[in-house]
């Protein structure tokens, strides 16, 4: 009796596991496809049907995994911000001198670009939606402010260190973030150009020159 039950349980578990795998796979597929669509066609112009068709799943599946279209968008946003957080944290941690850390931020553009799975336009979507939707605004702005503060602190540390001039760290961090954001925006619509890397490097150098002692 016991063994039988055990067998059944086992089998059920295996089946469940397999089913879970399949489910997780579907989820991932939807998420990925949605990111692609939102990026290519904008959130509004992407219909749930579009996503389902490209992902090869039914609408039933979609609404089984996610309550609404918007929820998918929010999850995508969340994932992206998490990746970004991790990347930046890592840079700062692994460089000891502040100016050096800032210079390494040069690569920030690539980080942003690459997280989100190479779908840069998603960034614009997030930003764009943020100004109209409370939920998204919360998620975006809170992170963005976090970055501001983060850079502020980093600069403060640099001043203590003596490697950076005495300046208003809040304003300076804002300047840095502005430049970074601006770079992204431009890259977005001027995709042909190949020298964004150099521009970002040069720009950061210019800013650093005025900041470091």
Q: How far is CA 139 from the centre of its chain?
A: 11
Q: Which stretch binds a copy of itself (CB under 8 A): 28-36, 81-89, 98-106, 118-126?
A: 118-126
Nearer to DNA, 48 or 159 (CB): 48
Nearer to a copy of itself, 105 or 180 (CB): 180
Shortest spacing between CB 23 and DNA, in angstroms: 3
Which residue in this structure is represented by tokens 């039933």?
Answer: 60
Q: Which stretch binds a copy of itself (CB under 8 A): 9-17, 66-74, 92-100, 200-208?
A: 200-208
70's CB contacts (< 8 A; 6+ apart) are 133, 135
Among positions 17-76, residues that touch a copy of itself (CB under 8 A) are 40-42, 44-45
Which residue in this structure is represented by tokens 């799943």?
Answer: 57
3-state secondary structure of 146: helix
123's CB contacts (< 8 A; 6+ apart) are 80, 112, 116, 184, 188
3-state secondary structure of 190: coil
Q: Could you say which of 3, 132, 162, 166 contacts a copy of itself (CB under 8 A)?
A: 132
- Distance between CA atoms of residues 106 and 113, nearest Å: 13
Residues near DNA (CB under 7 A): 9, 11-12, 14-16, 18-20, 22-23, 25-27, 46-50, 57-61, 63-65, 67-70
- Distance between CA atoms of residues 94 and 89, nearest Å: 9
CB of 70 closer than 8 Å to CB of 152: no
Query: Where on the chain is the footprint of a copy of itself (CB under 8 A)?
Result: 40-42, 44-45, 121, 124-125, 127-132, 137, 140-141, 144-145, 168, 171-172, 174-175, 177-183, 185-186, 188-190, 195, 198-199, 202-203, 205-207, 209-211
């Amino acid at each position: 009796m016991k063994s039988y039950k055990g067998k059944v349980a086992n089998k059920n578990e295996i089946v469940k596991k397999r089913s879970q795998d399949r489910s997780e796979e579907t989820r991932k597929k939807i998420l990925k496809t949605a990111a692609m669509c939102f990026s290519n066609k904008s959130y509004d112009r992407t219909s749930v049907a579009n996503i389902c068709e490209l992902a090869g799943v039914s609408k039933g599946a979609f609404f089984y995994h996610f309550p609404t279209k918007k929820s998918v968008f929010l999850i995508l946003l969340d994932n992206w911000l998490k990746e970004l957080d991790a990347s930046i944290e890592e840079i700062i941690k692994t460089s000891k001198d502040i100016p050096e850390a800032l210079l390494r931020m040069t690569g920030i553009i690539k980080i942003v670009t690459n997280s989100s799975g190479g779908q840069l336009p998603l960034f614009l979507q997030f930003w764009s939606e943020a100004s109209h939707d409370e939920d998204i605004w919360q998620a975006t702005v809170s992170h963005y402010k976090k970055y501001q503060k983060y850079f502020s602190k980093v600069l403060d540390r640099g001043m203590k260190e003596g490697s950076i001039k005495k300046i208003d760290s809040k304003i300076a961090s804002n300047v840095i973030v502005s430049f970074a954001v601006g770079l992204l925006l431009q890259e977005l619509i001027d995709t042909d150009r190949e020298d964004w890397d150099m521009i970002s490097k040069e720009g950061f150098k210019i800013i650093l020159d005025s900041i470091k002692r």
